[in-house]
Structure 1
Amino acid sequence: MSKVKTKRNKPETLLAKTLWHKGYRYYLNNRKLIGTPDITITKFNIAIFIDGEFWHGKDIKEFESRNHNNKEYWLEKIQENIKHDSYVTKKLQQDGWNVIRFWSKDIMHYLDDCITVIEDYIQSNYLE
């Protein structure tokens, strides 16, 4: 687990650079906020998380059905991550932040769609 990059991985860098080129200014890994969002656009109170599929349980049902070493440990770890993500999202929303979560592979394969989600959110909530 010590080899897992938690900051400035490829999906995060790709999304951040694209947002920057489109004129959005942001902070990376804002430690002032609970959960340390990967990208925060403070002008619009948007906290963006880029979640890895394995660590955050996207395919947990598939994982449960397979035979893996130390399966119980990993299931417990992933389920804790899912609970923590939910808690962080609720807490940020209570504090007035708008939380957007993307799967890392979605950013790598559907970057334009992810940017559209962010821009649509800004358009509908701030630029009317």
Structure 2
Amino acid sequence: MVDVVSVETRSRMMSGIRAKNTRPEMRLRRFLHKAGFRYRLHDRSLPGTPDLVFPRFRTVILVHGCFWHRHAKCRLATTPGTNVEFWQRKFASNVERDSVAVGELLAAGWKVIVIWECGLKSVSSESRLEWLPGHIAGGLKQYLEWPASE
């Protein structure tokens, strides 16, 4: 199947997709800042360059886009109809890289929280995140995904 836009247009569109400071990430950061948390951003010294790092609590948060990181059974995790083989390889590579980074963080003694984009899309997402400050400060689980895959 041929792409419906030119190579130049597709390149411009794809270059506009951010890896840092995305809308879901900014929404989460505002919520946590209001809750009194201070954190480091995009710490490149840690595996996977976590989006938010809470050194005091030895906790990191990864904000994953459902499309790019393949949130299981999520309606946002679609596969483009063109160049399917490329996308399947790309997504598999992303998932493998995420898995390795999470494993390294856990092995280094960090608590890892993965927050999926779809959980932050709704207007009521702040009320749905009320559990998060308690988990950052003292949660017992070493690894947590929210919302969980269905």
Does TM, normalized by the shorter one, top 0.5? Answer: yes
Q: 1:10 aligns with which of 6, 15, 23?
A: 23
Q: TM-score, normalised by structure 1?
A: 0.84
User: Are residues 1:116 and 2:131 paired?
Assistant: yes
Structural mapping, 1:29-48, within 5 Å? 29-48=42-61
Letter in 2 for 1:5: R
5+ residue gaps, structure 1, are none
Structural mapping, 1:1-128, within 5 Å? 1-59=14-72, 63=78, 68-109=81-122, 110-125=125-140
Between structure 1 and structure 2, the one with the greater Rg is: 2
* Residue 72 to residue 111, structure 1, CA distance change in 2 (3 Å): farther
Moved over 6 A (4+): none
DSSP-derived class of the 2:90 partner:
helix
Percent identity, aligned pairs only?
A: 29
Q: How many residues align?
A: 123
Tell whether the 8 Å contact from 2:39 to 2:55 is kept in structure 1 after alignment. Answer: yes
Kindly indicate which of the two structures has a greater share of residues assigned to helix.
1
5+ residue gaps, structure 2, are 1-13, 141-150
**In the TM superposition, what is the alpha-carbon distance from 1:21 to its structure 2 partner?**
1.2
Q: For residues 39 and 76 of structure 1, what CA distance do their matches in structure 2 show?
A: 27
**In the TM superposition, what is the alpha-carbon distance from 1:34 to its structure 2 partner?**
1.2
Q: For residues 71 and 98 of structure 1, what CA distance do their matches in structure 2 show?
A: 35
Tell whether the 8 Å contact from 1:19 to 1:115 is kept in structure 2 after alignment. Answer: no
Tell whether the 8 Å contact from 1:29 to 1:36 is kept in structure 2 after alignment. Answer: yes
Tell whether the 8 Å contact from 1:102 to 1:114 is kept in structure 2 after alignment. Answer: no
Q: For residues 63 and 14 of structure 1, what CA distance do their matches in structure 2 show?
A: 23
DSSP-derived class of the 2:93 partner:
helix
**In the TM superposition, what is the alpha-carbon distance from 1:114 to its structure 2 partner?**
3.1
DSSP-derived class of the 1:17 partner:
helix
Cα distance per residue 1:18-64 (max 9 Å; x no partner): 11111111011111211111111111011101111110012579746
